[in-house]
Amino acid sequence: MVPKELKFLLKLLGFPNYRAPLTKIQPTPKMKAMERNSLCRRLCNQGFVASAVVVTKLKIAPPGKSLLKLDPTGSLVKEEELQVLQACAKRTISPQKTGIPSDKQQIVIHDLSQRGLIKIVDHRITDIWLTDQGQQYLLENYECNSTSEHIHLKMLTDYLRLLRRFQGVAREQVQSATIESQEPVGTEKLAVSESKPTDAAILQLIQDLDNKLGTNNYLPIFHLREQLQPRLSREELDQTLYRLQQQEQIELSALVHTQNYTPEQINAGISQRVGSKLFFIQVTVE
């Protein structure tokens, strides 16, 4: 990996869930979009980065032509798929020229492409994210003696957060194994008022649990839920955590390596519309 590729990955570490629009990634101040896009494709091919793409040009493939001849009425394909095949039967077109609703264009086009009925002539990368393989490479394998500029302290901070996050996962595994071997069924709960706790009390509980379990300021949410059930419902605790985050007292981060936890523990995380569940709590105030 060359220094520019490393800078690309380090830039991703500065975004939530290590995911960002491609246009937000600028490895060096003077790097042109064409070079950045080429760099992104190379990292995707290596498995360090994954991407979401939008098709901008398409044309029919030979199997698609044969299908139109054998099945002109579309009995073997859906109506919208037939419409796309007919639209691009004679020339390369844009998705807007297919005549199907805009919210369905990309889904239908990608499906036809995977079945070999059309060819994607051109596409545009929208979002990119760091894969598990990319994270493991940064943590375990990358070495460089380059003194290249533009790797600044913000990048170093993001990298250190990645290290701390994985260190917290490792400590959690060791601590869980120790607790299971030493304690009987049912872990002793920390002392908390039996009435519904305030936001300040929950923040203190997060810190107390982190100190007790040694999770290095990356406390899995399921520990907090166990302590507060049944006094707080799932939704009530979620809203409290969102408030604490808005007040910049905590940060919530997503789970990446699910193999370290049981399905029940993972389910205790907070679901998002996009991406993995929010799973770790980090206190950001002294």
> Per DSSP, which regions of 97-175 are E strands?
118-130
pLDDT tens-place string over residues 204-250: 999 999 888 888 888 999 999 999 887 888 888 998 998 998 888 99
Per the confidence metrics, is the pTM higher than 0.85?
no
Is residue 190 a part of any domain in this protein?
Answer: no
Q: Do residues 261 and 171 share a domain?
A: yes
Sole residue written with tokens 């500065």: 14
Please tell me the least confidently modeled range out of 5-14, 59-68, 71-80, 172-181: 172-181
Confidence class for position 172, pLDDT limits 50, 70, 90? very low
80 token code pair:
């919208």
The answer to whether residues 221 and 174 belong to one domain is yes
The verdict on 121 and 136 lying in the same domain is: no
Q: Which sign does the torsion angle of CA 162, 235, 265, 201 carry?
A: positive
Paired with 128 in beta bridges are 20, 51
**Which residues in 100-218 belong to E strands, given as ranges?**
118-130
Structural domains of the chain, count: 3
- Which pLDDT value is given to residue 205? 93
Judge if 105 and 205 occupy the same domain.
Answer: no
189 within domain boundaries: no
98 pLDDT more than 90: yes
Domain that holds residue 217: 158-184+195-283
**Are residues 79 and 214 located together in one domain of the fold?**
no
> Is residue 68 one of the residues assigned to a domain?
yes
Is there a single domain that holds both residue 169 and residue 230? yes
Same domain, 271 and 213: yes
* Same domain membership, residue 141 and residue 23: yes
Does the residue 35 lie in any domain?
yes
Task: Give the pLDDT score at 177.
Answer: 47
Please, where are the H alpha helices in the chain? Answer: 3-12, 33-46, 62-70, 79-87, 102-114, 132-136, 153-182, 199-213, 221-228, 234-246, 263-267
Statement to judge: residues 170 and 259 lie in one domain: yes
State whether 11 and 28 are in the same domain. yes
Asked whether residue 165 falls in the same domain as residue 144, the answer is no
Specify the residue for token string 């923040």: 203
